[in-house]
Amino acid sequence: MFPANFGYVAARSVEDALQLMAKHGEDGKLLAGGHSLIPAMKLRLQSPQTLIDLGTVPGLRGVSIDGNSLVIGALTVHADVASSELVRKHVPALAEAAAMIGDVQVRNRGTIGGSVAHADPAADLPVVLTSLNASFVAQSVSGKRAIGVDDFFTDFYTTALNANEILTEIRVPIPAAGTGTAYVKLPHPASGYVVVSAAAVITRQASGTCTASRIAIGGLGSGPIRAIATELGLQGKPLTTQTIAAAAAKAAEETDPVEDSYAGAEYKRDVATVYARKAIEAAVERAKN
Ligand SMILES: Cc1cc2nc3c(=O)[nH]c(=O)nc-3n(C[C@H](O)[C@H](O)[C@H](O)COP(=O)(O)OP(=O)(O)OC[C@H]3O[C@@H](n4cnc5c(N)ncnc54)[C@H](O)[C@@H]3O)c2cc1C
């Protein structure tokens, strides 16, 4: 399979990329790792006339700390997120999710920014970043703005990014002491993409009571969904096996999963409750340390 003919230009800076986007308009498309865009071009689902490569732009790759946040450059590849000492220390769920993406080749080329901008409903990182209450910094010629994760994923393959914006960094609040994070997924046996996945962020007092929780589920909708009933079922409660199981049983409430040849809606809802429980239990264990 070959894509339609296209032009290519390597941007030298974010400002240069923004100018190139303005010049090419709807005919131009940003290129990061190319691991979603190029397959889409080969299938002729997308046929941009010019690719504007961000891979050569300095300063968009790496993980650092700014105040109470981890800052991850949009061009950071999945393998670097998975192996980052900062990510593994502060938000192990994110390292866990990045390590589960595709295969070695995909993890060495695909980027966190490309993954969230593409917003595939079967992607891993949107789910875990939802549980972590991440925000996304978008830059245009008018300046920068931050978009909270609950407003970012708006539909299938659609985000709150405007056509004239580049995602430059992802900011992840460093969880408070006594917080554990975890991510689990049921991968599709052929593609490895998410059938259903669950991410949990749980804050636990020394007494064993849950003081805060964010639970996100993947595979049930057009993007990650917050399992609000599950979150409420944990908050202020002792984190016992019974409380966790009862809360997790509500993880798929009021969802209408898309059926496919591999998994029906009822199956996905059932798996969501099981995987929510697994993620919460793993996060609670980490919160104890
Ligand atoms: C064989 C295979 C298996 C895979 N398995 C999984 C999996 O198990 N789980 C999973 O989550 N994903 C999986 N993926 C997808 C992979 O994670 C991609 O790397 C990712 O979805 C896109 O990242 P990219 O850097 O390759 O982006 P690209 O393909 O370069 O770009 C994707 C889209 O995002 C836009 N974009 C990119 N960067 C920016 C930016 N900084 N600002 C604004 N827009 C931007 C592009 O214009 C394009 O529309 C798989 C891919 C392949 C090929």
Q: Where are the domains of the chain?
A: 7-53, 63-173, 179-288
How many A from CA of 124 to the centre of ligand 1? Answer: 11
**Is the CATH code 3.30.420.40 the one for domain 179-288?**
no
Give me the pLDDT at residue 284, please: 98
Task: Let me know how long the chain is.
Answer: 289
How many A from CA of 32 to the centre of ligand 1? Answer: 8
The phi and psi torsions of 186 (rounded to 5 degrees) equal: -95, 105
Give me the pLDDT at residue 277, please: 98
Burial class of residue 238, CB neighbours in 10 A (0-12, 13-18, 19+)? middle
Are 277 and 248 in contact by the 8 Å Cβ rule? The answer is: yes
Beta-strand ranges (E) seen in 56-193 are 63-66, 69-73, 135-140, 143-148, 153-155, 158-159, 166-173, 179-187
How many A from CA of 254 to the centre of ligand 1? Answer: 29
Helices 265-287 and 241-248 cross at an angle (nearest 10°) of: 150
What CATH number was assigned to the domain covering residues 63-173? 3.30.465.10
Determine the 3-state secondary structure of 159 from DSSP.
strand
Choosing from 118, 129, 147, 159 the residue with most ligand 1 atoms within 8 A of its CB, the one to mutate for a pocket test is 118
Whole-number CA gyration radius for the chain = 19
How many whole angstroms separate alpha carbon 150 and alpha carbon 51? 29
Write out residues in the chain with pLDDT < 50, as ranges.
Answer: none
Give me the pLDDT at residue 261, please: 84
Distance of CA 268 to the CA centre of its chain: 19
How many whole angstroms separate alpha carbon 131 and alpha carbon 112? 16
Give me the pLDDT at residue 258, please: 87
Give me the pLDDT at residue 210, please: 98
Beta pairing class for 225-226 and 179-187: unpaired
Tokens of 102: 């595709």
Give me the pLDDT at residue 260, please: 83
Distance of CA 105 to the CA centre of its chain: 19
Give me the pLDDT at residue 289, please: 77
pTM: 0.98
Q: Which CATH number fits domain 7-53: 2.40.50.140, 3.30.360.10, 3.50.50.60, 3.30.43.10?
A: 3.30.43.10
Q: Which residues contact 143 (CB under 8 A, 6 or more apart)?
A: none
